[in-house]
Amino acid sequence: METRQLKAAGAVVLVAVAAFGVWRWRAAAGQQVSQPVQTVTVAKGAVAPVLAVTGAVAADERAVSASTSGKIAEVYVKQGDTVSAGQKLVRLDGAGAQQDVNIAWANLKSARAKLQDLIDKSASAADIAAQNAAITKGNADYQKADEARTALTVISPIGGTVIAVSANVGEQAGGGSGSSTSSSGSNGSGSSGLVTVADLSRLYMKAAVDQADVSKVSPDQPAKITLDALPGKEFTGKITSIDPMPTTSQNVVTYNVNISIDQLDPGVRLGMSANISIDLGKKDGVLVVPNIAIHSQGQDKTVTKMIDGQSTAVTVETGAADSVNTEITSGLSAGDKIVLQSFQSTTGQPSTSGGSSGNPFGGGGFGGGAGRGMSRGM
C-alpha cells in the first residue's frame, strides 16, 4: 500500500515539474502565457462604513482648590472615599479670618447704632445719608470677611468618589478658582487640585478623533466598544458630544469625542483603554465593488474593466467604504464586469495588482470574497 502511494505521489510530482518546465519554456520563448481572469459584475449593494478610533473610560470630575491662601489645617477625606455635594474636604487655618469677621461685625453694629441715634436726635439729612453710606460699607466689609472665612473650608461641588488627594496638613495652599470641571481618562486626572472628585456612576468613553475625520461624526451616532481589559465583551453606546476645542500633540490635531455606554459593566473602570467603532451610517442601493478591485495611484483611483474581452483601466470616483466594499459614484455602471485579479504576462509579472508572480500553480482569490451585492464570474 505504501509503495503504491509513493509511486502515485512521484507521478504527480513528475507531471507538475513537466508542466512547470513547459510554462517556463513558453515564457522564455516570448509566447503569451495566460491564466483565467477573475471578474465580478458590478451591482447595487450596501456599504456600512465605520470609523475606528481608540479611547479610554472617562468620568466627569472636579479638581477642587482653595479660593484663598492659607496653611492646611485639616484634610477630611482620603482617596476612594465617597462624598456628597457640599461635604467638607479640606480646611485651612482660619484664626486670622475669624478675627476679621468679628471686627467687621462689630463695626457694622456700631454704624447701625449710630444711625439710629442720629434719627432719634433729628439729625440733618446730610448726616443721616453719610451714616447710611457708612452702613453700606460696613455690610460690604462684613460680607467680604465672612466669604474669606467660608473659603477656608473647601467643599465638594458634586457627589462622587475621591480619586486624588494632594493636600497635606501643614502645607501652604495657594488661592485658586475653587474648582474646575474636567474629565479623566487614560492619562489620569485631567486637572490638579487639593482634592479631585469624580462621578464614577456615569462613566463614558472619551476618544480622540483626527481633524481629518471629525466632520464625519455627529451626536447620536451609534458606536461599538471593546475594552482591552475585558476581552470577549462588547458594549454599545452613542456619541453625546464633541469638544469644540482641539488637542494638539506632536503636531497632530485631534478632537475629543464623548461616547455614552449603554449598559455599564461592573468590570469597567476609570482609565481603561478601548477600541471604538463609530457607525457612520449604512448606505443601501448604491453601486459597490470589492475593495481589492480598486487600485490607487496618488489621488487617482482606477478599476480594471472588461471591454470587448480586453482589460482596460478606467478612472472611478468613490464614496463610502467598509472593510469589504467601496461605493462607486462615477466611472462604472451596473452590469459592468471588472477584474479582481489576472495572471497574464510574458515576464512572469501579474498584469493587475493582487495577482501572482505568474507561476501557474500560484494561488489567488478574493481575499475578502466577492462582497455584498456582487456576483462572481469567470
193: confidence class by pLDDT, cuts 50, 70, 90: confident
pLDDT of residue 230: 94
Whether the predicted pLDDT of 79 surpasses 70: yes
pLDDT digits (tens, 9 = 90+) for 27-45: 555 555 455 678 899 999 9
Percentage of the chain lying above the pLDDT 90 cut:
61
Angle, helices 125-150/95-120, rounded to nearest 10 degrees: 160
Buried-exposed string 264-289: b where 16+ CB fall within 10 A, e elsewhere: beeebebbbebebebbbeebeebbbb
Average pLDDT over residues 252-274: 94
pLDDT of residue 294: 94
- Dihedral sign, Cα of residue 232, residue 50, residue 246, residue 63: negative
Spell out the domains of the chain, with CATH numbers in brackets: 28-47+283-377 (2.40.420.20), 52-60+203-279 (2.40.30.170), 94-151 (1.10.287)
Neighbours of 23 (CB within 10 A): 17
What nine digits make up the cell of 254?
485631534
Average pLDDT, the chain: 81
Whether the predicted pLDDT of 8 surpasses 60: no
Main-chain phi, psi angles of 24, to 5 degrees? -65, -40
pLDDT of residue 172: 87
- DSSP at 98: H
C-beta separation of 45 from 320 below 8 A: no
pLDDT of residue 174: 72
H or E segment to which residue 97 belongs:
helix 95-120
Instruction: Find, among 271, 254, 319, 272, the residue nearest to 48 by Cα.
Output: 319
pLDDT of residue 175: 64
Whether the predicted pLDDT of 332 surpasses 50: yes
197: confidence class by pLDDT, cuts 50, 70, 90: very high
Average pLDDT over residues 50-56: 95
125: confidence class by pLDDT, cuts 50, 70, 90: very high
When mean pLDDT is compared across 191-195, 225-229, 325-329, 354-358, the lowest value belongs to 354-358
4: confidence class by pLDDT, cuts 50, 70, 90: very low
pLDDT of residue 157: 94
Query: Which residue would you say has higher pLDDT here, 294 or 12?
Result: 294
Measured torsion, CA atoms of residues 317, 323, 325, 330, in degrees rounded to the nearest 10: -10
